[in-house]
Amino acid sequence: MRPGEIDEIRKLPLFAAMLPENFDALFRGAYVQNFPPQIELIREGDPADFLHVVLEGSVELFATWNNRETTMATVAPIATFILAATIKNGPYLMSARTLEKARVILLPSADVRKTFTTDPGFAQAIILDLAQCYRSVVKSHKDLKLRTSVERLANYLLRKDHQAGEQGHFDLKIEKRRLASYLGMTAENLSRAIRTLNGYGVEIEGSQVRITDRKDLAAFAKPTPLIDDPKC
């Protein structure tokens, strides 16, 4: 592991409250690995042998059934993924692949499970992390069941604009076909949805998004914190 990296990880909410000896022991058993783009890190159905921490690059979580595939989430540094499977000692429910070159830490699941039963600070942090994850999937589920595809796109753009400081312009940072899959539509329909939003103050050129009339867009999108606020 590189100097400084371990300190960054230590600052993650999930690990910050661990006892020093437990943190050290847990990460002594860790593997750090560098992966090229488009590598499958995890296949759904496999036993959850490792908890993953993305240090650099980005990772896509996706799911498949009957030859269909859908993007469930993208994970950006520094963050963990597949915590629930590790804890339940169950199979992965989602697959994961690198989108760019990525640097990932693998923590043996057995060590994680052993640690959280004896370290109350770690247990607290896991509780908060899982509650957060649960609520964010519930929000996605509401998004999908209650909104049309154009409405989902409109709200997605407002969320990203907000995260980028409401500057009115930002970079998508994801291929459109993956965004389409994430939003539960086809790439073709994403193109058409963008055109529809041209009429509500949205301009997209390549990966550059410009929101020229946030009021108009928000009037159309009707965002609510109960779906669209990631911190709530």
Site of interaction with DNA (CB under 7 A): 148-150, 175-177, 184-192, 194-195, 204, 206
CB of 156 to DNA, least distance (A): 14
207 phi and psi, to 5 degrees? -105, 5
Number of Cβ within 10 Å of residue 107's Cβ equals: 22
Distances (CA, A) of 122 to 26, 61, 80, 102, 125: 12, 25, 14, 26, 5
When the beta carbons of 1 and 131 are compared against its own copies, the nearer one is 131
DSSP-based three-state secondary structure for 71: strand
State the Cα–Cα distance between residues 207 and 11, nearest whole angstrom: 32
Q: Which does 176 bind (CB under 5 to 8 A by kind): its own copies, DNA, none?
A: DNA
CB of 22 to its own copies, least distance (A): 14
When the beta carbons of 33 and 136 are compared against its own copies, the nearer one is 136
Q: Which of 175, 184, 196, 207 is nearest to 99 (CA)?
A: 175
Q: Which does 187 bind (CB under 5 to 8 A by kind): its own copies, DNA, none?
A: DNA
Q: Which does 101 bind (CB under 5 to 8 A by kind): DNA, its own copies, none?
A: none
CB of 187 to DNA, least distance (A): 5
Q: Which of 121, 101, 120, 122 is nearest to 51 (CA)?
A: 122
> Which runs of consecutive H residues, i.e. helices, occur in the chain?
5-11, 13-16, 20-28, 83-88, 109-118, 120-146, 149-163, 176-182, 187-198, 214-221, 225-228
Q: Which does 195 bind (CB under 5 to 8 A by kind): its own copies, DNA, none?
A: DNA
CB of 184 to DNA, least distance (A): 6
When the beta carbons of 34 and 118 are compared against DNA, the nearer one is 34
Residues that bind its own copies (CB under 8 A): 44-45, 63-66, 68, 70, 72, 83-85, 87-88, 90-91, 93-94, 116-117, 120, 123-124, 126-128, 130-135, 137-142, 144-147, 184, 222, 224-227, 232
Q: Assign residue 222 a region: left if phi > 0, alpha if psi is -120 to 50, beta otherwise?
A: left
Contacts of 203 (CB under 8 A, 6+ apart): 209, 210, 211, 212
In this structure, which amino acid lies at residue 158?
A: L
Q: Which does 225 bind (CB under 5 to 8 A by kind): DNA, its own copies, none?
A: its own copies
**In this structure, what token pair is assigned to residue 61?**
């979580």
Q: Which does 117 bind (CB under 5 to 8 A by kind): DNA, its own copies, none?
A: its own copies
CB of 8 to DNA, least distance (A): 27
CB of 17 to DNA, least distance (A): 40
When the beta carbons of 66 and 117 are compared against DNA, the nearer one is 66
